[in-house]
Amino acid sequence: MSDWPLLTLITFLPAAGALLILAARASARGANGGFDRGVRLMALIVTLLTLGLNILALTHFSFADAGFQLVERAPWALGVEYHLGVDGLGMALMVLTTALMPLCILASWTIEKQVASYMVLFLLLETLMLGVFCALDLALFYVFFEGGLIPMFILIGVWGGQRRVYAAFKFFLYTLLGSILMLVAIIVMAREAGTTSIPALMEFEFGRQMQIWLWLAFLASFAVKLPMWPVHTWLPDAHVEAPTAGSVVLAAILLKMGGYGFLRFSLPMFPDASSLFTPMMFTLSVIAIIYTSLVAWRQTDMKKLIAYSSVAHMGFVTLGIFSGTEQGVQGAIFQMLSHGIISGALFLCVGVVYDRMHTREIAAYGGLVHRMPVYAAVFMLFSLGNVGLPGLSGFPGEILSLVGAFQANAWFAAAATVGVILAPVYGLSLYRRVVFGKLENPQLAAITDMNTREWIMFAPLVIGILALGLAPSLALDFTRASAQSIVAAYQAALGAAP
């Protein structure tokens, strides 16, 4: 079994499922709603099988090994190799992706418009996201990285809200324009080093001046994807207009590609430039944490509030990454995993009431605890996780990021702690206005609590936020070797610099 191309199977099984759905649709023209139910079930089965294969891959993965494992390599074209492999960082994000995708399919169960096309796009998106986290050739990475724009662009533009076309094009243009500079940098790196192999490029020493330009080119892409302030403005619009499952994928997985890129490329390949620009990254991180927290507090749309809170939480990720310390990098990785669970759950919470009321305006709610006590309890759990309550998964990542940042610069770390105070302000304010108080809106009188499908959808997320909060070593032990390797290489490169 260990000789199987597990990474290829995991990555491309969703795409195979998408092709199967397309073939079934071609042979079922004019079919009734029974076909749509079958498509939903087929998409769910494919995502569950992908998760099962990922769990199987875990049994062949050594946590103590910092190198790339499960490596697959074959010639492709124009000197580019089909080269796959994962370390602890990549595997952790693949597990997050494959675990969340079945929940996204469940969240999409009520989609009635062009169901087959919708599910095909989600399965293709899963393949492209997984490819990002296991590609070991820079050109291959770029194909996966940019390819993910297309399905998400269509999902927002076709199945989104009233301003879906505007939001879709804003999302596409921001992320594409940022990545054009990265493509130029990839071409320059291939010409300079004579290879596009990521492991080889991690060993290659670029000159200091070239590092600066390459680092800035990669920043243009990763800062938009994360997103960092001030190139974050596409995110609230995309979240508000995207369907519920699209918002989950966007916040929980696609944003993590920016943090993954900084850890995989910026620190190992351009250490001198990373050190040079650390004060700038700390400044932008602190601004993001404080400014977007204040903006989130003043929002009237639930999705937009959670979107701005995501920008604030990603500020802790970049703070930890560029601290250049093991605690900071571990905290950043943990924060990405935790935020994937919490932000995904919060957008699902919004989707539950939106499916019933067809509005995301906070003012339309209030007193839901009287009609939806189970929902109120679930929403409370993830709201508390989002504000960093000890015992839930939102706490360890923030603390480790701040500890790492404190070792690098105490002043920036102290400023970032303001975000820890502001998070309960906007997070608990949202919860109070939606859940507590009197049931004044007459339309809420007939609202029903969570159904069985929604119970199943939230159960793994509840387990995840509690498990990582009470036993953070489940994730920290998994990624420790990779974090230590990244930090050791970064510090060694800085120590060897003239």
pLDDT digit string (tens) for 330-347? 999 999 999 999 999 999
Q: Could you tell me if 272 and 211 are in contact, meaning their C-beta atoms sit under 8 angstroms apart?
A: yes
Rounded to an integer, the average pLDDT of 90-104 is 96
Of 462, 457, 459, 460, nearest to 108 (Cα)? 457
Residue 4 pLDDT grade (very low, low, confident, very high; cuts 50, 70, 90): confident
Rounded to an integer, the average pLDDT of 180-197 is 92
DSSP state of 86: E
* pLDDT of 3 higher than 80: no
**Domain assignments of the chain as residue spans, ordered by start:** 277-498
At residue 239, the pLDDT reads 86
pLDDT digit string (tens) for 377-398? 999 999 999 999 999 999 999 9
Can you list the alpha helix ranges (DSSP code H) found in 27-85? Answer: 33-58
Rounded to an integer, the average pLDDT of 399-416 is 94
Of all residues in the chain, what percent are helix, strand and coil, respectively (each to 5)? 75, 5, 20
pLDDT digit string (tens) for 289-299? 999 999 999 99
Rounded to an integer, the average pLDDT of 369-373 is 92
Rounded to an integer, the average pLDDT of 311-321 is 94
Cα–Cα distances in angstroms (integers) from residue 175 to residues 133, 138, 168, 238, 288, in the given order? 18, 18, 11, 12, 18
pLDDT digit string (tens) for 233-259? 888 889 888 999 999 999 999 999 999
Q: What is the CA radius of gyration of the chain?
A: 22
Which residues touch 126 (CB under 8 Å, ≥6 apart)? Answer: 14, 47, 50, 97, 98, 101
pLDDT digit string (tens) for 12-70? 999 999 999 998 887 766 555 578 888 999 999 999 999 999 999 999 999 888 899 99
Can you list the alpha helix ranges (DSSP code H) found in 194-243? Answer: 198-203, 208-225, 234-241
pLDDT digit string (tens) for 473-496? 999 999 999 999 999 999 988 876
At residue 179, the pLDDT reads 86
In the chain, the percentage of residues whose pLDDT exceeds 90 is: 78
* pLDDT of 498 higher than 60: no
